[in-house]
Each structure stands twice: as C-alpha cells, then as structure tokens.
Amino acid sequence: MDRDRRRLNRLPRWFVTAVAAPPVVFLAVFYAWPFLTLTARGVSIDAISDTLGNSRTWEVVWFTFWQAVASTMLTLLAGLAPAWAVSRFSFPGRRVLLSVLTAVFVLPTVIVGAAFVALLPSSLDRSVWAIIGAHVVFNLAVVVRTVGSVWERLPHDLDHAAATLGANRWATFRHVSLPLIRPALAAAAAIVFLFTFTSFGVIRVLGTPGRTTIEVEVWRRATQLGDIGGAAVLTLLQLLALGAMAAGAAAVQRRTAHVVDLREPSRHPRPSGRQWWTVGAALGLAVVMVAAPLVALVERSFRIGGAYSTDAWRGLGSNEIRPGLRLGVDPGDALLASVTNAAWATAFATAIGTAAVVAITVLGRSGRAIDTGLMLPLGTSAVTIGFGMLITFDTPPVDWRASWWLVPVGHALVAVPFVVRGALAVARSIDPDLRAAAATLGAPPIRAWATATLPMLRRPLATGGGIAAAISLGEFGATSFLSRSGEETLPIVIERLLARTGGVFQAQAFALATLLAAATVAIVVLVDAGGDRARRS
C-alpha cells in the first residue's frame, strides 16, 4: 500500500528540478557568492593584523558586548512580569496587548530610535541609556512571547500544590515555575542578545562615535573609510562571536531542560482580589514602556521649537518644508521608493518561498539542505548581506549596483525564511492520501499535487508575504549599502533628518517615522487578523 501511494505521489524529475532551481540559484547568487567574495577580497593577513591590532576595534567590540549583555538582562527583567500576567491569567484586552507588543517588535529599528529621541531630553537622547532603553522596548515582545508560550502550558496544579505546602507566591515562582521556564528564558535571552549585539538602526540614530557597535563600524569602514579589509575582518569576528553565543545558549537549554507534562493552553482563571493589583501593575508597566515613546513620536511631529505646527505633515510631499528651507531629500520620493521596494520584495520573497516550499516538501530528506540554506540569512546581519552584495556586484559583467531590483532582492533575501516557515508547516501536515486519491481518479501527478496542496498554502503564503512587506518597509542595514542617491527609502531619510540640527528637520523625521510606524502596524494587524480567521476556520 505504501509503495503504491509513493508511486502515485511521485512527481516528474523535470518538475522537481524546475521548482528546486529558483531558491537554490537565488541563495547561491545573492547570499553564498557575496559572502565568499567578501571573505576572499577582504580578509588577509595584513587586514587581520591591522584590524585586531587597532585599539578602536576592541573598544567597539567591548561596547557591543557589554551593551548587549545589559540590554538582554534588563529586557528579561522587564518582560518576566507581563509574561507571567498574560500566560497565567485571562483578562479583557489580553489579545490586544499581545498584538501591540508584537507590532512594536516588528517596527523598524530606526523608528524605535526616533521615538526615544522624541521621548528623552536632549541631554539623554544620545546616551547609552537611550540605546539600552530602546533595545528593551523593542525586544520586550520576545520575552513575553517566548517565555509566555511555555509558561501558559504549565499545569496550574503545580502552583496549587506548592500553595498547599505553605509556599508563598515568590517561593512558588523560584522553586516551581522558574526551573521549568529556564530553557525558554535561555532561548529568549539568546534572541535578544542576537538583536542587540547586531544593533544597527538604533545605534545609527542614538549612538555617538564613542558608542558604536560592530555593525555600525563595519558600515563606517566600508562606506566612509574605504577599509574593505577591516570591515570584512569585523564581519567575520562578529559571526564567530554569534556562533559561540548560539552554541552556549543551546548548551544552557540542554542543561536546564526538565521533563514536565505541558498541556495545551486552556482558559486561564481571571485575577481575583489582590491579584488584580499585581497583574495590573505588571501590564501597566509594559504598556507605559511601549506606549510612551510612540506617543512622544507622534506629539513631536506636531511640535517645532516651543510651538505646535502642522508644517512637518504638510511638507511630506515636498523637498521644501517652508519657503526657502529645503530638506535636501524628498519625503514623497522616499515614500514611493519604500512602497515600490516593498511591493517587489514581497513578490520576490513569495515567489522564491513558494518554490522552496514545494521543493522541500517534494524532495523529503534531500530538501533539508534547501531549508537550512534559506535560514542562513537570518543568522547573518543585514549589514553583512548588503556589504557583500555591494562589493560583489560592482564590476562587469555583473555590475548591478545601479539596477532597480538590487535593493528589493536584498530585502527578499531576509524575508524568504518567514514566507517558508509558515507555509512549510502546513505543507508537511497535508495527508499524502489526498494526492493519491486525486491520482487514482485520473489526475496527472502534477495536477493531483497542485489540487491537493496549493489551495491550503494560499493563506500561509499570504501571511508570509505580509511579513515580507513589513520587513522591507523598515529594512535599514542592507539598504544603507545598496540604495542609490535620489532613491533613498524612508528609514534612510529619517536617520539623515534626525542627524541634522534644527527642530524643523527633526519634526519632519518624526512625521515620517509616524507614517512608517502606522503602515507597519497596519500590516501586522492584517496578518494577525488573517491568522485568527485561519485558526477559526
């Protein structure tokens, strides 16, 4: 029976090759080739010696490391209380709160940086505290989602048993809950550390020459100093550090893992009595942390100097914000460039992702190489991707730097994994008997496969496309290398305006950041709404 089913499900070899070729070629040309070129052209004995012998290198490495550690620890501390509240209790607005936290996490880092410039006084908006604060707010959802997903599955019976033995709430958390959620805490810490260690947009907005991460230093050496060797060495140094961190996090998760009867999330009890105060305080703190910078961002877009004005909003479509006062960039053109890039990046990511899902599903074990390869860009910083593409595609016959499609391709490289992950989970859950049944009714193998599989992939592919659009709208690292003069995207224009003195320019930056934040949040809400409809159906 199994042999007959496999025979009926077998697709022609030419079809398998045709669907596997696009993702393989895409990954080879736009990821593997640039990465190898970056290594071959930039890394040499002299470059290694000069870079590692430079005291500034180690100052940058030290600042990158310690701010990432501080940001990670504070994010864990800030996220534990709301993670406990949303995972152990049911209350009005729970789903809305989770959606808001998720929306903040997918906001472009430039917007988070701009929000802290708007929130903090001028004496603090370029300080290390502003950087760490922005990292905590940006990554709060990682802790709430990652830890909460395990915490909400812990049986309430464990808490009740501890209470009957006389343990108070703190003792119950310390001796019962904490050991069981420790692997999730390690996973959340690893993710937060990854994002803060490779921080680029936040540092470009809030940092100073003495407060620079490796990411920003790579960009500075490559674009301002022309030091390709130094930039390449720093890139590899960062990858080694991230690899060691990932290995350490995996080891911690293995050592702290406990066997426990995790259950599907059920309807949790509502807080009672004094629990309302504890839950309210935990959630109120999270809401204030997330909302205050965004409210300040909107408010500052209407304030120029000490007076309120709508000049920044009225000037969105012009290079001239006031008569005789020019911005140097056209916000309307930047908006058009961002939307255009996002549209093409979404199309590229969806097309490549669809082909990849089909290939991985059909090839079985052989498809794991494609699956693993497509995940590699997620572990590589966007700055490294953009830098590698810049120095690879700069000479004939592949002088593509002036090509309109290079920026959306760079965005799609980062977005494809998000398209693949959701759709692949659905594709693997489809019963092969459905395709076999279609084949026994006379449908050719390709038609039988398409009839049984493709309709079920439409919604997850649409969700992945929405995530790809959000990623493209806010992408800053690779775009800093690949965008051409006159075709800057909104994140680049926002960063440039914030760097200029004068309330008029900053108000314009805040207005653009508000517009970009609203577009990103709208996409996330639509994606979440589509996911909810899919679960209900």
Q: What is the pLDDT of residue 306?
A: 78
The C-alpha torsion from 13 through 18 and 19 to 20, rounded to 10°, is: 80
- Phi, psi of 326, rounded to the nearest 5 degrees: -100, 145
Closest alpha carbon to 346 in 254, 467, 252 = 467
Q: What is the pLDDT of residue 525?
A: 73
What is the distance between the alpha carbons of residues 374 and 389, in angstroms, rounded to a whole number?
17
What is the distance between the alpha carbons of residues 334 and 341, in angstroms, rounded to a whole number?
10
Residues in the chain: 537
What is the distance between the alpha carbons of residues 530 and 461, in angstroms, rounded to a whole number?
11
At residue 486, the 3 state secondary structure works out as: coil
Instruction: Report whether the peptide linkage leading into residue 323 is cis, meaning its omega lies within 30 degrees of zero.
Output: no
CA angle 241, 247, 252 (to 5 degrees): 125
Closest alpha carbon to 181 in 245, 73, 87 = 87
Closest alpha carbon to 100 in 473, 520, 521 = 521
Q: What is the pLDDT of residue 262?
A: 47
Q: What is the pLDDT of residue 351?
A: 93
What is the distance between the alpha carbons of residues 315 and 309, in angstroms, rounded to a whole number?
11
- Token readout for 309 is 């004005």
Q: 58-213+245-301 in CATH: which number?
A: 1.10.3720.10
Partners of 222 in the beta sheet?
A: none
pTM score: 0.81
- Token readout for 110 is 């430039």
442 burial level (CB within 10 Å; 0-12, 13-18, 19+): exposed
* C-alpha distance across the termini of the chain, in Å: 32
428 burial level (CB within 10 Å; 0-12, 13-18, 19+): exposed
Averages of pLDDT over runs of 10 residues in the chain (537 residues) are 46 78 93 90 87 91 94 93 83 79 83 91 84 92 83 64 58 66 82 88 87 89 86 88 77 59 58 78 88 92 85 72 60 85 93 89 79 82 88 87 90 89 73 56 62 73 85 88 83 86 82 89 73 53
- Token readout for 378 is 């997620």
Query: Is 201:113 a contact under the CB 8 Å cutoff?
Result: yes
Q: Please give the C-alpha separations between residue 439 and each of 13, 46, 305, 332, 500, in angstroms, as whole numbers.
A: 17, 63, 71, 53, 65
Q: What is the pLDDT of residue 4?
A: 42
What is the distance between the alpha carbons of residues 92 and 97, in angstroms, rounded to a whole number?
10
What is the distance between the alpha carbons of residues 71 and 4, in angstroms, rounded to a whole number?
56
Looking at residue 11, the DSSP 8-state letter turns out to be P
With both helix axes pointing from N to C terminus, report the angle between 109-119 and 490-498 in degrees, rounded to the nearest 10: 30
- Token readout for 179 is 């050991």
> Could you report the per-residue pLDDT of 60-99, keeping only the tens digit for each?
999 999 999 999 999 999 998 888 888 878 778 777 787 7
What is the distance between the alpha carbons of residues 305 and 134, in angstroms, rounded to a whole number?
24
- Token readout for 505 is 């320019």
> Could you report the per-residue pLDDT of 158-195, keeping only the tens digit for each?
555 555 655 556 666 665 667 777 778 888 888 889 88
Fold of 1-41+319-537: MetI-like fold (1.10.3720)
Residues of the chain with CATH 1.10.3720.10: 1-41+319-537, 58-213+245-301
Instruction: Report whether the peptide linkage leading into residue 82 is cis, meaning its omega lies within 30 degrees of zero.
Output: no
